[in-house]
Amino acid sequence: MKKILFLFVCLLISKVSLADNVILMIGDGMGENHLKCASADKAIYIMTLPIKGWVHTHSANNQITDSAASATAYACGEKTNNRMLGKFAGGDDCQTIAEKAVQEGLSVGIYSTDYATGATPSAFFAHVYNRNDRKTIASYKLRAQNVMDIKVPVSKISQEVEAALNKLKNNTKGFFAMFEGALIDTYSHHNKLDKMKEELYDFDLAVKFASDFVRENPDTTLIVLADHETGGLSDECRYTQKSHSGTDVPVYADGKHAELFDGKQDNIEIYKKMYQILFEN
């Protein structure tokens, strides 16, 4: 009887200690050629991750998405219209994966180099018709900070990863973390290639730290992608426009469920796969 009880306790401990975690890392505006052009000067760790796939990024009302609609697709698993955050295209609020994680007792962290009410981080906790409704977004952020670790903006995303993940992992139910390198997009809008590379190198270092965490915490899945491509960066490393393009973006993955992100997929499928990892295993 004692032996059976001991085995049962061990099983419970094993299940608790192996709660699944998801780290979602978004290089805003980071297309395939952003990585290739940056790798001409310095090795890019992201490109060494074991799984690579592709993501279609169009929004509900446009073949070329903005950050609000794309981040909402990742956060909610449904297409929405450009400029809308945390809402379905019809206007109803959607429960984000971050909000679901809080509801289920997981820890949540949101970190970005974007401005305080930036579209990508806000998509995980705010619900507004227009991304420029900064007053309402700020009120959502204030409330969300009671249940999520939110740091927006930060100066360098690489400086946040280790401390954030070591804090979040203390929850035995698991965690969801989103890290964004926002200025890859900003400098691409201005066609500033060298500045874009600097931001991408810092984002890449953040990914390396996250991957190291995965090595030490094998119950974790790391997903690295973009919300869209910005600047129409060519194979010759020249910008061809100052806006977003509709080209597919790469997704790289590492860790426990990395194979789920292989191949071609729509951006709403990223949400569905993260949901499966966090809540259905």
Q: What is the pTM of this model?
A: 0.94
Domains and CATH numbers, the chain: 23-279 (3.40.720.10)
* In contact, 86 and 125? CB cutoff 8 Å: yes
Nearest residue to 71 via CA among 226, 224, 244: 226
The token pair that represents 130 in the structure block: 């227009």
For the chain, how many residues are written? 281
The token pair that represents 91 in the structure block: 């206007």
Which residues, including other chains, have CB under 8 Å from residue 25's CB and lie 6 or more apart? 178, 179, 180, 181, 203, 206, 207, 210, 222, 223, 224, 225
Nearest residue to 70 via CA among 60, 57, 61: 57
Find tokens 């919300």 and name the residue: 227
80-123: pLDDT as tens digits: 999 999 999 999 999 999 999 999 999 999 999 999 999 999 99
Per-residue pLDDT in tens (0 to 9) along the chain, 281 residues: 444 444 444 444 444 445 799 999 999 999 999 999 999 999 999 999 999 999 999 999 999 999 999 999 999 999 999 999 999 999 999 999 999 999 999 999 999 999 999 999 999 999 999 999 999 999 999 999 999 999 999 999 999 999 999 999 999 999 999 999 999 999 999 999 999 999 999 999 999 999 999 999 999 999 999 999 999 999 999 999 999 999 999 999 999 999 999 999 999 999 999 999 999 97
Coil/strand/helix, residue 230 = strand
pLDDT at 205: 98
Helix 193-216 to helix 32-39 angle, to the nearest 10 degrees? 100
Q: What DSSP string runs through 80-123?
A: --TT-BSB-TTS-B---HHHHHHHTT-EEEEEESS-TT-HHHHT
